[in-house]
Structure 1
């Protein structure tokens, strides 16, 4: 049977039902098959066919052309628009335009490598600041990146091509009447700090050093220090130095029940400066939640969990004072919550995190009304802002990363020989 003589729908139906056999094989090339599809559509006057006959003819074309249903539909649509039935290569006409180039993805990967991958809202603030404050032309497009699309770019292959336990504290001595058991009440006043200790691991009988992490409740101004042990002869000088690193007057000091804080020496030091001393209440895990959260996202991300000898405490403390603390307060954005009425629970408030509330601790301090009256003598907001703008965010992040990698490399070279094998070293790193 000659296919060109198939001109009636009854013949098409008989061929599909198998009543008649048809020895017909269209050409193998896509172009010739498209021409055959056009000839059949013209032969049966497809434009004037009824709906049922159109479906019958399309089934006939699918069987003998080898095209998929979607591609055949596109071909028929082009024929209806009087266009040639050729294979259209490249992106479709209605495809989304690409906004961010490979260079933008490389720049984004570089920034996240230096910062250690912040949350989406915090990272987009860094990108915006790099262009608006420091006029870095590499961020001209990235300054408009949204947090949601940032996560999309992180999953892309181009980005990946360019591109890381809280310690159990000791309870206070029985019957010790030191510090009031209550949560601090800052009332939007900077100077109420929460403090906690982070242990840097042990290896056999060797105890590692400790990091002391203090965070202001209102501005999230953070000061990290390092001590070889939690003994009072080591803690008191470091605590005094930490309090002096805050630019504002300290009004409150809140800790958990660890004896490194709950003792008469620390209480006397705070009383001398008229600083309110409070500690966490039993079964109220949120009393010191801010410091615990910063332990994970800052201290552990910077120093990890592996064992670091106590003899390295002085070097780590100098690193924190000279590089890490200025970076955290001048260049690392933080999320600040805003309380709004809860529509589901009238009369109650719920906390939300808005994009405009993402800022560095210094910017948060500067946004407070009458912030200057909380500052220490000899410290002004203009001096702090000038110091922050003396270095870009990316430069500060890179300087901290390079100094940290050099310091941790020296620690690894010193501590690796004490491990009997690679497995004991791996267990120590993840303990």
Structure 2
């Protein structure tokens, strides 16, 4: 998906509603940082209202695969310095064979096929590449065990992990009925015993019994 065609806030809103996974099309972190800077500059992030800022932040989170905390840090850096520059690491690390785009593609494939086992997903990736889908070029050679490793990654979980939301529950309020606390802890049963009349006044002495 060519995200450079997205020019208005309404287009961003429609994109997020229709496409839970976005394939921006860059290969390096430098290009990713440059794209984030272009988005913030194009939409004039500093002057946006709070709801629109939240929309842009969500757009950047979905498109880059970064966490919301990291996107917030990058935005603050842009607001303070006016640009984004990636700081190079001084230590040598192992290069990753599979990119964030590959992980997002794996998550999309799992969602489409309801989370099949690793062997079945591997075969689906191979078949997709054999049928001409170049996006599966790297995933076609992935091992079954590494599929499960990628499923544990943060990028994958941001897409596939369901988010629990508070669901309303119906509670009966103001219901007048005889309580039946038998066998339930935390209840006190109060019995009343009639003690007869005195001076034509009804007397009722409470008798308490705990269960």
Based on CA coordinates, which of the two structures has the bigger radius of gyration? 1
- TM-score range relative to shorter protein: 0.3 to 0.5
The TM-score with structure 2 as length reference comes to 0.38
